[in-house]
Chains A and B, each alone.
Chain A
Amino acid sequence: MNLIAKRYSVLPGFGLSLGYALFWLGLIVLLPFAALALTASTLGWTAFIEQVSAPRVLASLQLSFGAALIAAAVNALMGFLVAWVLVRYTFPGKRFVDALIDLPFALPTAVAGIALTTIYAPNGWLGRYLEPLGVKVAFTPLGIVVALIFVSLPFVVRTVQPVLEDLEKELEEAATCLGADRWQIFRRVIFPAVLPALLTGSAMAFARATGEFGSVIFIAGNIPLVSEIAPLIIISKLEQFDVAGATAVAVVMLALSFFVLFLINLLQWWTARRHGMK
């Protein structure tokens, strides 16, 4: 069966570029996945279900995905605001602030984790002021959320920013002429236009945050059922030389990630279609 059917184009290089892309994808991504799936499959179906439905595993998956969801929600709100302010307003040092947004991509996650723990520990820079207020950040699930907000911060800002920049001022001007106030314009004109990008950015932030390990491990506290993240479960299974069990949890995480990413691509497709209809 011919799964890959090329539509007519005058441009050359389809076979070469697609062939190379598939070869490299296979070598770097698919081959390792196969090794993972193969190892997990040695467990057998019942053992696999048993492994991934153990209370600690379930609790950790719930925590990893729950904390990632909260972090993505915070980033959706604040990331939108950041993008808005960076695009629409001017203030001194704007270029510097704009450049700083990508920092979490570049800073090693372990360093981020140590730095955040230094800041939010009860005797840390911010922790000492939060502690008397009864707010504990380091070594609680809240700390995990803070770390995840940090590592996934650039995604929303960077997807929303270009869309806001491209937004046509004429629409807003027209709406103003027709008597709409700023809030109405935001709700009816700006927000619908930005929504697809916002969703895409949040979903990517979410996907990135679910698997995060390095920055979380220092600040999490790692108490079973309370602040133990899914990647830590994988590590502790490896510590017991239970490679198959570790891969079982890894496979579940991968399946969930793949699902989220597939949703992102559907979102993009939906955005493109709406865009096309305009």
Chain B
Amino acid sequence: MQTTESRPVRFALTALTLAFLGVFLVVPLAAVFWEALSKGWDLYAAALVEYEAWQAIKLTLIAAAIAVPLNLVFGVAAAWAIARFDFRGKSLLTTLIDLPFSVSPVVAGLMYVLLFGVNSAIGGWLAAHDIQIIFAVPGIVLATVFVTFPFVARELIPLMQAQGQEEEQAALVLGASGWQTFWRVTLPNVKWGLLYGVILTNARAMGEFGAVSVVSGHIRGETNTIPLHVEILYNEYNFVGAFACASILALLALVTLAVKTYVEWRIERQHTASLIRTQQAREALA
């Protein structure tokens, strides 16, 4: 049965795809590493051991470490509510969860400055109590949470909808408590999808530039993340340093993507395994 294209067509389409991805993905990635190493390994290494670069890397990791769990908990709660129950205003809620995807990062940062800046009601109260949110680490964390807000929920909702709730209902009927059902049934079922969401959240959290730039205050060695540090170095004509730090982010991205590929491979295997199990169960019944 011929359900695929002829060899030349296949070849041409594959070549076209690879050419497109080559120009739009591989070349920019290569450019980052090429520029970073253009003056040799010594300068590359020197750019990375600099005190301020380290501070930036630390801050980036801290911001991601706080933002990711927060969005993880939110994503699971939102997915549970949306995928397991019917209620009015559901599609509005889904749209609102998606909104941070399409808000310009600059606007996102601006919103937090308006909300927590000293001229607002909240900001005035915070200032009177000596709590600094904006232009300090909490502001950076908030901006990061905002831009990565939808990832986990978006990943989980379709997955949980597709899986249905029969297994959970069965667990409840068999006498499990709500929490037991969640930990023993729901979570194992969605764990790889959850991990994929977390990975994307993490990648985006570490790379965010626009929103963080607005709320950071740009205090050197204090409130600069890696993307902001890259900008500073670039503005100092330190192209090697800028691209070296950028390459660290690119490497983090690549590691993240490698983990993601592994995760997907696991999901596939899990999927196949469950298919086989179902098949075996059917055969046993017959």
Contact = CB atoms under 8 A, between A and B. Distances in A.
Contacts of B257: 99-100, 102-103, 106
Interface stretch (B46-54, B92-100, B273-281): B92-100
A189 B128 CA distance: 65
A223 B286 CA distance: 73
Contacts of A31: 115
B226 A85 contact: no
Contact of B110 (A17, A81, A238): A238
A36 B110 contact: yes
Contact of B101 (A95, A102, A207): A207
Interface in B163-213: 165, 168-169, 172-173, 178, 181-182, 200, 203-204, 206-210
Contact of B106 (A35, A97, A213): A213
B45 interface: no
A109 interface: yes
A58 interface: no
B110 A247 contact: yes
B26 to A, nearest CB: 7
A261 B85 contact: no
Given A4-B87, A28-B149, A110-B227, A235 B114 contact: no
B232 to A, nearest CB: 11
B17 A114 contact: no
Contacts of B87: 4-7, 18
Interface string A251-272: 0011001101110111001000
Contact of A204 (B29, B101, B249): B101
Interface string A117-158: 011000001100000000000000000001001100100000
Interface string A76-95: 00100110111011010001
Most buried by A among B28, B85, B249: B28
Given A149-B24, A234-B106, A111 B77 contact: no
A98 interface: yes
A213 B26 CA distance: 22
SS class, residues of chain B in contact with chain A: helix
Interface string A173-214: 100110000100000000000000000000010011011111
A25 to B, nearest CB: 6
A106 to B, nearest CB: 3
Interface residues of A, number: 100
B215 to A, nearest CB: 11
Interface of A: 3-7, 9-14, 16-18, 20-22, 24-25, 28-33, 35-36, 38-39, 78, 81-82, 84-86, 88-89, 91, 95, 97-112, 114-116, 118-119, 125-126, 146, 149-150, 153, 169, 172-173, 176-177, 182, 204, 207-208, 210-214, 230-231, 234-235, 238, 243, 246-247, 250, 253-254, 257-258, 260-262, 264-266, 269
14 contacts: A5-B87, A12-B178, A21-B74, A35-B111, A97-B18, A99-B257, A100-B29, A100-B257, A102-B257, A105-B204, A107-B250, A114-B234, A115-B246, A231-B210
